[in-house]
Amino acid sequence: MKKVFDYIIVGAGSAGCVLANRLSANPQHRVLLLETGGSDKSIFIQMPTALSIPMNTDKYAWQFHTEPEPYLDNRVMHCPRGKVLGGSSSINGMVYVRGHAKDFDEWQQHGAQGWDYQACLPYFKRAESWYLGEDSYRGSEGPLGTNNGNEMANPLYRAFIEAGVQAGYARTDDYNGEQQEGFGPMHMTVKDGRRCSASRAYLDPVKGRDNLTIVTGALAHKVLLDGKRAVGVEYQCKGKTHRATAERRVILSAGPIGSPHLLQLSGIGDQDALKAAGVEVQHHLPGVGKNLQDHLEFYFQYRCKQPITLNGKLDWFSKGLIGARWILNKTGLGATNHFESCAFIRSKEGVEWPDLQYHFLPAAIRYDGKSAFDGHGFQVHIGHNKPKSRGEVTIKSADPTQAPKIQFNYLAHQDDIEGFRACVRLTREIIEQPAFDAYRDGEIQPGKDVQSDEEIDAFVRQAVESAYHPSCSCKMGEDDMAVVDSNTQVHGIDGLNVVDSSIFPTIPNGNLNAPTIMVAEKAADIILGQPALKANNAQVAIHSQWQAVQRSTEI
């Protein structure tokens, strides 16, 4: 195999696939893409309804776990990350949420110059092919297909939206457009009935390029340095150690766990942590692995009076029919992730933009596919999405096969605790609206006995799960704890970039696949030295009375 390249990309996930596509578009660029996992062609990855399977399968996901979380009654939390072509975009729930415009303005305020909403919006548009066509906010010619699944055929989806309006909240036709705040249809990365992962969208069309080399089954051991310059990557493949040289840049796209860990394995990070792990310090950069953030959520579950939920489709015969229809024509319940309506609201007055997110599901069921009870039910996934708690990814050993220590410190900040109290009380009020009278048949979880602050806090500590959105562990900025600058280059190391969700300065209000792809699109232009796309001045809605009111049907 060739040993010398212009660009080496570590990780064929949501960001790495974008970079491989864009950097290899020039036939003069020799590009190497390294991925530890293998093919993403499994029916369980491609069929949207099977989303819980790859996430919980060792072949397709790193099955990371946290240290005992001290503010969650010392629970050990599951933190799966993609280990397959497409990375976490091949194992995720396919929900397409960009985040609020203010989330990206916040990035710029944290020192990520040129990453405000108006600068990022053109790259969201470039990435996307929105099934309803282009407008000021949505793209129609990009690789990433997005739609609304089965158009909310189940009446429970629309009941959720109507209940929100009855509770005094706004309606929004497109939360990824002008107005995030409100209740409306949810969008997913599904195209022609199949999961539209970053691998399918960006990598499949260009795999035949002569100047793009893709190596699967390759575990990166470290970045090779010549003084303060990255010159290549050492990796293991099929039991042998290989070294590949990068004449221009090494780009880490190994994700919010993998990228800081690989920097640390390479001797780049906090010197005390490196020494403790037996790694020779090459460059003291104390922010590596710090600032770790994630979204938590829990399921608010109700029994359903009518037999119209997915709980009636969990037997093997029904699953077989759903699978057969999907295999034959890629339609039906197999062609959706089942999250087809949603909401973004503010937890209290004085919050400028939404900090709570709802995914509605016409079933009462866990991510592992197990029903929580016998009978029909529905649930909303609800979480406080602008956490102030911060964690860390820390190397344990110089052995690259040993997972790092992961500690999120979930709910360490009092504001996060209060945010989840709002989740319980506001959700209960919404589901009690008349729109659900024909369907609602008693609360399963949390249960009517959970009312006081203390009871809610105890329930949340036991019930919350990760929403699988780790990020921010190699943050972009210029302060002492920043890891990369606004050009995504590692501070103090030439020729080395990090491009994935680890470089987010703060976590956006929403799922992270869309902003990760956007970041890679924008970073590709920066790395190639191409002019940035022209800023888009499309305006976004902010509640006119956000300082005084928590909700209103008029924004």
Does residue 158 sit in the same domain as residue 219?
no
Does residue 312 sit in the same domain as residue 352?
yes
394 found inside a domain: no
545 found inside a domain: no
- DSSP per position, 121-151: HHHHHHHEEETT---SS--BSSSEEEB-TTT
Alpha helices by DSSP H, 151-270: 155-166, 198, 255-265
Q: For residue 110, what are the domain limits?
A: 1-145+191-292+469-532
Residue type, 517: I
Q: Quick one: pLDDT band at residue 1, thresholds 50, 70, 90?
A: low
Does residue 224 sit in the same domain as residue 175?
no
Residue 379 pLDDT: 96
Residue 475 pLDDT: 98
Structure tokens at 73: 């009654």
- In angstroms, how far is the first alpha carbon of the chain from the final one? 58
Q: 207-238: per-residue pLDDT in tens?
A: 999 999 999 999 999 999 999 999 999 999 99
Burial class (CB in 10 A: 0-12, 13-18, 19+), 494: middle
Does residue 180 sit in the same domain as residue 200?
no
Q: Which of 460, 159, 147, 181 is nearest to 344 (CA)?
A: 181
Does residue 348 sit in the same domain as residue 315?
yes
Q: Quick one: pLDDT band at residue 356, thresholds 50, 70, 90?
A: very high
81 found inside a domain: yes
Does residue 458 sit in the same domain as residue 486?
no
Q: Which residue has the tokens 């008693």?
A: 442
pLDDT score of 369 more than 90: no
Q: Which residue has the tokens 């799960």?
A: 465
- CATH number where 75 lies: 3.50.50.60
Does residue 342 sit in the same domain as residue 306?
yes
Residue type, 313: K
167 found inside a domain: yes
The Cβ-side half-sphere exposure at 3, using a 13 Å CA radius, reads 4
Q: Quick one: pLDDT band at residue 314, thresholds 50, 70, 90?
A: confident
Query: Peptide bond before 54: cis, by omega within 30 degrees of 0?
Result: no
Decide which of 428, 448, 463 is a domain's last residue: 463
Average pLDDT over every residue of 522-530:
98
For residue 543, indicate whether it is catalytic: no
Q: Quick one: pLDDT band at residue 367, thresholds 50, 70, 90?
A: low
What is the rounded CA–CA span in Å between residue 504 and residue 110? 10
Q: 479-516: per-residue pLDDT in tens?
A: 999 999 999 999 999 999 999 999 999 999 999 999 99
Does residue 53 sit in the same domain as residue 169?
no
Specify which residues 245 forms β-bridges with: 4, 232
Residue type, 168: G
pLDDT score of 373 more than 80: no
How many residues are recorded in the chain? 555
Three-state SS for 464? coil
Q: Quick one: pLDDT band at residue 370, thresholds 50, 70, 90?
A: low
Does residue 156 sit in the same domain as residue 11?
no
Average pLDDT over every residue of 264-281:
98
115 found inside a domain: yes
Q: What angle do CA 552, 554, 555 make, to 5 degrees?
A: 95
Average pLDDT of every residue of the chain: 96
Domain count along the chain: 2
Catalytic residue among 110, 221, 384, 469: 469
Does residue 354 sit in the same domain as residue 301?
yes
41: how many CB neighbours lie within 10 A of its CB? 12
Q: Is the dihedral angle over the CA atoms 322, 324, 329, 330 positive or is it negative?
A: positive
Does residue 77 sit in the same domain as residue 102?
yes
Q: 39-91: per-residue pLDDT in tens?
A: 999 999 999 999 999 999 999 999 999 999 999 999 999 999 999 999 999 99
Segment (H or E) for 324:
helix 316-329
pLDDT score of 319 more than 70: yes
Does residue 272 sit in the same domain as residue 302?
no
Residue type, 380: V
Q: How many helices (H) and strands (E) does the chain have?
A: 13, 24
402 found inside a domain: no
Asked whether 94 and 71 are in contact (CB, 8 A), the reply is no
Average pLDDT over every residue of 147-169:
97
Contacts 24+ apart (CB under 8 A), 413-416: 413/387, 413/388, 413/389, 415/388, 416/384, 416/387, 416/388, 416/389
- CATH number where 328 lies: 3.30.410.40
pLDDT score of 133 more than 80: yes
391 found inside a domain: no
Q: Worst-scoring range by mean pLDDT, 217-221, 240-244, 370-374? A: 370-374
Q: Quick one: pLDDT band at residue 374, thresholds 50, 70, 90?
A: confident
551 found inside a domain: no
Rounded to the nearest angstrom, the gap between the alpha carbon of residue 196 and the centroid of all alpha carbons in its chain is 14
Asked whether 37 and 83 are in contact (CB, 8 A), the reply is yes
